């Protein structure tokens, strides 16, 4: 009997366990993607552009045999199952709060037809690693040790030839893949992801441990958007990571990705609320002056060059170097005293790689409100950070060319004074 392979955050054909499971029924497979209006409405333009470009690349890899439909999945998937008489629907597991609710609704609507989840976007899926007493890890370091001991399987041997594909025209009329005509500086899809990874592994991985904090050197992997949409699986990347210092530093970053996914899966409320609820009582600013400062932060007009460079890079490209993400986040939370949620929401609107687990818990790490958080009293000094990680001001001058001119604005706050104010607010709740 035929089966349905429902693509979501796994827009590839290689290393896709769900594809092998769909094809194992010895029948034809209908490949489909559902454009969910809820996700389209909540996604930034650049994220949508990557999605649409990656869908076009996936469709081309399948010689056009990808059915793209629009609607609520709990309505569209059962309708497709009925049309083609499918015995099962196969997916990669989704552990986000939204994804779990969506899949529960689809599973209920399918009735006797199973929704089979296999694999996930992670090296180790959420829930697989726990403390000896069965409780989830709250701190990264012991999680990382357990994660390495647990290990992960080798890449799944799948590709376009793994299934006999159903011509979607025989099942239903699809919709055109949209185009939001927003510029992103990253080619999308599986072939682009594999090419990007191979180039980084060959040329820059060896120096990753030393160079990854230097935004002026432009030597990071730029794999985050590809991982977000599953154009490549981290297993495919992990097989290229040997025992060298750079490779092991990169593996640790992949572990952080798994850790934050596990935290969000275990504590779904933390997607928008402080994981550490003791911070709920700490006052933040939200008056007219606060909103004026927020607009200056978004526009890259704070008068702090490294902050402004990062925010302008984000606005122009939909990406920002990770070290700079931490600097601008600390500035928003601890210099401007604004809610971390404001910054997290803006990042999700702008970033090509906007991922709920990474983004929200990265912001909480900086704000000190999450698991394994940096202490709140660790306040990034934007000037000393710039001196350390952009010593020749190469990065700053690239994005803030007027930095040495009279037209560049004065600092909107006094960092030393606002650091004291941040610590005062923190001490009031401890």
Per-residue model confidence as pLDDT tens digits over 156-178: 999 999 999 999 999 999 999 99
pLDDT of residue 163: 97
Q: Does residue 388 form part of some domain?
A: yes
Mean pLDDT across the chain, nearest whole number?
96
The answer to whether residue 240 scores a pLDDT higher than 90 is yes
Is residue 105 domain-shared with residue 131, that is, in the same domain?
no
pLDDT above 90 covers a percentage of the chain that reads 94
pLDDT band at 25 (very low <50, low <70, confident <90, very high): confident
Is residue 281 domain-shared with residue 259, that is, in the same domain?
no
Per-residue model confidence as pLDDT tens digits over 372-419: 766 777 899 999 999 999 999 999 999 999 999 999 999 999 999 999
pLDDT of residue 293: 98
Q: Does residue 167 form part of some domain?
A: no
Is residue 255 domain-shared with residue 337, that is, in the same domain?
no
Q: Does residue 186 form part of some domain?
A: no
pLDDT of residue 373: 65
What is the domain range of residue 214?
122-156+191-266
Which residue ranges are tagged as binding site for FAD? Answer: 208, 220-224, 250, 253-260, 353-355
pLDDT of residue 428: 86
Is residue 383 domain-shared with residue 307, that is, in the same domain?
yes
Q: Does residue 348 form part of some domain?
A: yes
The answer to whether residue 42 scores a pLDDT higher than 70 is yes
Per-residue model confidence as pLDDT tens digits over 56-106: 999 999 999 999 999 999 999 999 999 999 999 999 999 999 999 999 999
Is residue 333 domain-shared with residue 344, that is, in the same domain?
yes
Is residue 217 domain-shared with residue 303, that is, in the same domain?
no
The arithmetic mean of pLDDT across residues 21-40, rounded, is 94
Which residue ranges are tagged as binding site? Answer: 208, 220-224, 250, 253-260, 353-355
Is residue 236 domain-shared with residue 321, that is, in the same domain?
no
At 257, give phi and psi (nearest 5°): -60, -45
The answer to whether residue 423 scores a pLDDT higher than 90 is yes
The arithmetic mean of pLDDT across residues 115-138, rounded, is 96
Between CA 142 and CA 4 the distance in angstroms is 39
- Whether the full predicted model's pTM is greater than 0.85, yes or no, is yes
Is residue 236 domain-shared with residue 339, that is, in the same domain?
no
Total tally of structural domains belonging to the chain: 3
Q: Does residue 296 form part of some domain?
A: yes
Is residue 71 domain-shared with residue 133, that is, in the same domain?
no
Domain end among 103, 120, 137: 120
pLDDT of residue 182: 87
Per-residue model confidence as pLDDT tens digits over 313-341: 999 999 999 999 999 999 999 999 999 99
Q: Does residue 318 form part of some domain?
A: yes
Is residue 148 domain-shared with residue 235, that is, in the same domain?
yes
pLDDT above 70 covers a percentage of the chain that reads 100
pLDDT of residue 26: 82
Q: Does residue 391 form part of some domain?
A: yes
pLDDT of residue 417: 97
Q: Does residue 242 form part of some domain?
A: yes
Task: Give the domain CATH number at 242.
Answer: 1.25.40.80
Domain end among 211, 241, 266: 266
Is residue 66 domain-shared with residue 201, that is, in the same domain?
no
Is residue 30 domain-shared with residue 105, that is, in the same domain?
yes
Domain end among 120, 147, 180: 120
Least confident of 76-80, 180-184, 357-361: 180-184
């Amino acid at each position: 009997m035929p089966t349905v392979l429902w693509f979501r955050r796994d827009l590839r054909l290689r290393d896709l366990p769900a594809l092998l499971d769909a094809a194992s029924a010895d029948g034809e497979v209908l490949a489909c993607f559902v454009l969910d209006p809820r996700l389209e409405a909540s996604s930034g333009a650049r994220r949508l552009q990557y999605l649409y470009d990656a869908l076009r690349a996936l469709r081309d890899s399948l010689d056009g045999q990808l059915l793209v439909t629009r609607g609520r999945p709990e309505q569209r998937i059962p309708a497709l199952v009925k049309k083609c008489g499918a015995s099962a629907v196969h997916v990669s597991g989704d552990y986000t709060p939204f994804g779990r609710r969506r899949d529960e609704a689809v599973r209920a609507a399918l009735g006797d037809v199973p929704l089979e989840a296999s694999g996930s976007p992670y090296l180790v899926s959420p829930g697989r690693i726990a403390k000896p007493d069965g409780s989830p890890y709250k701190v990264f370091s012991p999680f990382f040790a357990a994660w390495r001991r647990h290990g992960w399987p080798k890449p799944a041997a799948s590709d376009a030839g793994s299934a006999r594909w159903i011509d979607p025209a025989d099942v239903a009329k699809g919709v055109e893949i949209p185009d939001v005509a927003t510029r992103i500086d990253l080619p999308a899809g599986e072939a682009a992801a594999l090419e990007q990874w191979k180039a980084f592994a060959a040329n820059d991985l060896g120096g990753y441990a030393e160079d990854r904090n230097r935004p002026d050197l432009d030597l990071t992997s730029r794999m985050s958007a590809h991982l977000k949409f599953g154009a490549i699986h981290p297993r495919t990347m992990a097989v290229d990571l040997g025992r060298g210092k750079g490779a092991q530093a990169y593996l640790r970053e992949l572990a952080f990705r798994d850790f934050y996914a596990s935290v969000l899966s275990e504590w779904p409320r933390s997607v928008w609320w402080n994981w550490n609820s003791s911070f709920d009582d700490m006052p933040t600013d939200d008056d007219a002056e606060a909103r004026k400062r927020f607009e200056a932060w978004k526009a890259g007009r704070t008068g702090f060059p490294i902050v402004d460079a990062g925010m302008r890079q984000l606005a122009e490209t939909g990406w920002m170097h990770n070290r700079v993400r931490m600097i601008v986040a600390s500035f928003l939370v601890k210099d401007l005293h604004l809610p971390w949620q404001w910054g997290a929401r803006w990042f999700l609107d702008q970033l090509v790689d906007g991922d709920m687990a990474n983004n929200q818990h990265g912001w909480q790490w900086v704000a000190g409100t999450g698991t394994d958080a940096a202490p709140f009293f660790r306040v990034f000094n934007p000037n000393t950070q710039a001196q350390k990680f952009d010593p020749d001001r190469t990065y700053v001058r690239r994005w803030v060319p007027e930095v040495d001119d009279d037209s560049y604005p004065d600092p909107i706050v006094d960092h030393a004074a606002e650091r004291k104010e941040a610590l005062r607010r923190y001490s009031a709740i401890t």
